[in-house]
Amino acid sequence: MKKAVPAKRVTAEKGAVKKSSASKKTASAKGAAAEKAAAEKPAAKKPAAKKPTAKKTAGKKAAAKKAAPMKRQAPAKKPAVVPKKAAAAVKGVAPAKTVAAKPPRGESRTALVRRARRIDRELAEIYPYAHPELDFENPFQLVVATVLSAQTTDLRVNQTTPALFAKYPTPEDLAAAVPEEVEEILRPTGFFRAKTKSVIGLSKALAEDFGGEVPGRLEDLVKLPGVGRKTAFVVLGNAFGRPGITVDTHFQRLVRRWRWTEETDPDKIEAAVGALFPKSDWTDLSHHVIWHGRRICHARKPACGACPIAPLCPAYGEGETDPEKAKKLLKYEKGGLPGQRLKPPQAYLDAGGKPAPPLGAG
């Protein structure tokens, strides 16, 4: 027969069972929640490297600067623009393309401008009497003489034009001329047929379109047969007092020897050299350079040993450097020889220059 269990003990055991069951349920719930949380939680990332402190970062940057010296950053190149003074102030005609003169190696743009202007000042002292070396009494004679000067010397043109202008003194007269008669007069200048066609053609244009007067504007001059920018600037600068650069063969040769520009196209040379000087200097600059090219800085054998601007010339030594031998290479008044004009300005005669002889003389 079983012993009777006291009521208090039964009650306590039941409470313990219930408590144990509740604890198991709570633990089970906590475990399930933990498993669920673990499933939902993303995979643990690797511990990130510690960020360097501001002091450490600054230290590293400073060390990098010391280790590798910073290269000097080149300033942004500005587009080459001819200064306002050098811009062609002629309406209706596109000026020569802007070209920045390229300084010699090691020479800054500012140094190039200073050297170029100093050369011009020196040449102004050497040739204070520089002038256009074509004989003319009016704009019509100058434009015709300039067209005729292509592929020949100014001296030969000056010896030829007296007979031409004596027979055909006005554009109307030359426009009505018999081509064969004009060709005979112009024969000594070479290419006389083409030149005859040009001077008769430009005379007709002057008579028909401009009332027999030579226009004083670039856009009108370049429309005349045989007249380009070079001829137009000769006429504008010397007959109308309007600045212009005359880029003939002498001018081209010398500005490249002096490294004012490396360009070979006449329009680009005009723009590059014009950018180095005030516009007011252009006409006299042309005379100075051309005179120096004809008298001293010759094409084949420059007289380097007798050149007054030798210290400023990057091409010194291309010609004869012995002073005595160089003196024998000088031409025109520098060599005691007659100039190219039959009727030169008085200032030239006062400086010791001699007029050229007429055609056929000695």
Contacts 24+ apart (CB under 8 A), 302-311: 302/257, 302/329, 303/327, 303/329, 303/330, 306/330, 306/334, 308/122, 308/126, 309/119, 309/122, 309/123, 309/126
How far is Cα 55 from Cα 277, in angstroms, rounded to an integer?
A: 56
Q: How many CB atoms lie within 10 A of CB 79?
A: 6
For residue 129, give every residue at least 6 positions away whose Cβ sits within 8 Å of its Cβ, in sequence order, or none.
345, 347, 348, 350, 351, 353
Of the candidates 168, 130, 136, 166, the one whose C-alpha atom is nearest the C-alpha of residue 149 is: 136
How far is Cα 179 from Cα 197, in angstroms, rounded to an integer?
A: 7
Of the candidates 109, 81, 77, the one whose C-alpha atom is nearest the C-alpha of residue 95 is: 81
DSSP letter string over 328-342?
TT--GGGGT---S-S
230 is catalytic: yes
Using alpha carbons, list the distances in angstroms from residue 308 to 34, 119, 338.
102, 10, 21
How far is the first Cα of the chain from the last one, in angstroms, to the nearest whole number? 176
Alpha-helix residue ranges (DSSP H) falling in 240-309: 249-257, 266-274, 282-295
How far is Cα 49 from Cα 56, in angstroms, rounded to an integer?
A: 14
Which member of 154, 220, 248, 284 is catalytic?
248
Tokens of 19: 């408590």
Which member of 154, 220, 230, 281 is catalytic?
230
DSSP letter string over 119-149?
HHHHHHHH-TT---SS--SSHHHHHHHHHHT
334 is catalytic: no
Q: Which residues are catalytic?
A: 230, 248
